[in-house]
Amino acid sequence: MEILWSPWRSKYIGSFKDDSINSEGCFFCNAVNNPEKDEDLLVVARFEYCFAILNKFPYNNGHTLIAPLRHIGDLQDLSEVEMFDIIKAIKNVSAGLESIYKPHGFNVGANLGRAAGAGVPDHLHFHVIPRWNGDTSFTSTISDTKVVSVSLEDTQRELSYVLKNMKV
């Protein structure tokens, strides 16, 4: 086995002294509480118990996050109606992204807890990431750089419009 030596990672990991992010410091809660700023905050849809917001640091065009309206961090704390609403939102967002970008597939999932990679462990959220055959290339493999060719603002406007006008 080869070992990748990266001592600088310990500083990054050590920066997470306090896993708790209260609702005042949570960008999800900020979006929930400011519907008049949906466009600026990259919110693309609001549902009864959850909402969809673009990832500000996307892996691919259209990378969307689905989060419950409540500030909860544990899957076990979701009510049945919240679970259903989140799955319905994932379905609708996937359909909306499909109609706009025609991806070949999707990654859908959640990072539960800081150790699993959750950037905001106290506000549960799910990722919907469009994928295309060959969307990893020389640039991402060799230089650890990803090209995202559509602006967040354009994606926000287009996906919001599609989701608002969907017949589901």
Q: Which one is catalytic: 63, 71, 125, 127?
A: 125
Confirm whether 125 is a catalytic residue: yes
Question: Where does 15-128 have alpha helices with state H?
Answer: 27-32, 38-41, 80-101
Contact 52, 86 (CB under 8 A): no
Distance CA 124, CA 116 (A): 12
Question: Where does the chain have alpha helices with state H?
Answer: 9-14, 27-32, 38-41, 80-101, 138-143, 152-164
Q: Longest Cα pair distance anywhere in the chain, in angstroms? A: 53
Distance CA 121, CA 132 (A): 28
Tokens of 46: 């609001």
Residue 158 CA, distance from chain mean position: 17
Residues annotated as part of the active site: 125
